[in-house]
Amino acid sequence: MTNARYAPPSIPRIARRVLAAGRIGICVIALLAAVGCARTPPETALRNTIAALQQNLEARDTGAVHAVFDDDFVGPDGMDRRAARHLATALLLRHRQVGLTPGPLDVQLQGDDRARVRTTVAVTGGSGALLPERAGAYRIDSAWRRRGDDWTLLSLQWEAVGD
């Protein structure tokens, strides 16, 4: 028995549906590609790295702190990467609680892969009691290098404010 009311869709109607679905698919793929390819602007990525460094210092995460130092890092008096990592570890071991309150960041991009950042930071440290045992303010001058998608600390200078 055949159903007289049923008529298979015509080829042009099917073709229109396939083309419409194809256009929608192409738009979705293009949108996903645009979102996936979008890179964080260099200054935003650097500010995010500095914010993460602050959080890692306060959390006393030495591994994450060490990862920020560039292979070519140079600090005061010729301090190299290894010495900087040891100093950071010693400071974090010395104080059970570390607090950092940075002032505004003065970020000066030098192309897409280099930057200089200046700020003043209030630093506190202690045993975790209500009041910190040590506190000081420092002027920080740092140089950063972008390697791929990551910013690394290339150099760091600091001086106590008021000295």
Domain boundaries, the chain: 42-160
Between 112 and 134, residue with greater pLDDT = 112
**Is it the case that residue 76 has pLDDT exceeding 50?**
yes
**Is it the case that residue 157 has pLDDT exceeding 80?**
yes
**Is it the case that residue 23 has pLDDT exceeding 70?**
no
Structure confidence at residue 22 as a pLDDT band (50, 70, 90) = low
| 122 beta partners | 101, 137
Structure confidence at residue 106 as a pLDDT band (50, 70, 90) = very high
155 by DSSP, 3-state: which? strand
> DSSP letters of 39-71?
PPPHHHHHHHHHHHHHHHHHTT-HHHHHHHEEE
CATH topology of domain 42-160: Nuclear Transport Factor 2; Chain: A, (3.10.450)
**Is it the case that residue 31 has pLDDT exceeding 80?**
no
Question: What tokens does 97 get?
Answer: 């609680």
Could you give the CA distance from residue 124 to residue 136 in angstroms, rounded to a whole number?
Answer: 7
Could you give the CA distance from residue 110 to residue 152 in angstroms, rounded to a whole number?
Answer: 14
How much is the pTM? Answer: 0.71
**Is it the case that residue 114 has pLDDT exceeding 90?**
yes
pLDDT at 21: 54
Contact (Cβ atoms closer than 8 angstroms) between residue 146 and residue 42? yes
pLDDT at 99: 85
Contacts of residue 135, Cβ cutoff 8 Å, sequence gap at least 6? 122, 123, 124, 125
C-alpha dist (Å) from residue 28 to 24, 31, 33, 37, 64: 6, 5, 9, 14, 37
Per-residue model confidence as pLDDT tens digits over 32-72:
544 455 678 999 999 999 999 999 989 989 899 999 999 99
Structure confidence at residue 136 as a pLDDT band (50, 70, 90) = confident
Burial letters for 109-135: b for 16+ Cβ neighbours within 10 Å, e otherwise?
Answer: beeeeebebebebebbbbeeeeebeee
pLDDT at 7: 57
Question: What tokens does 13 get?
Answer: 């109607």
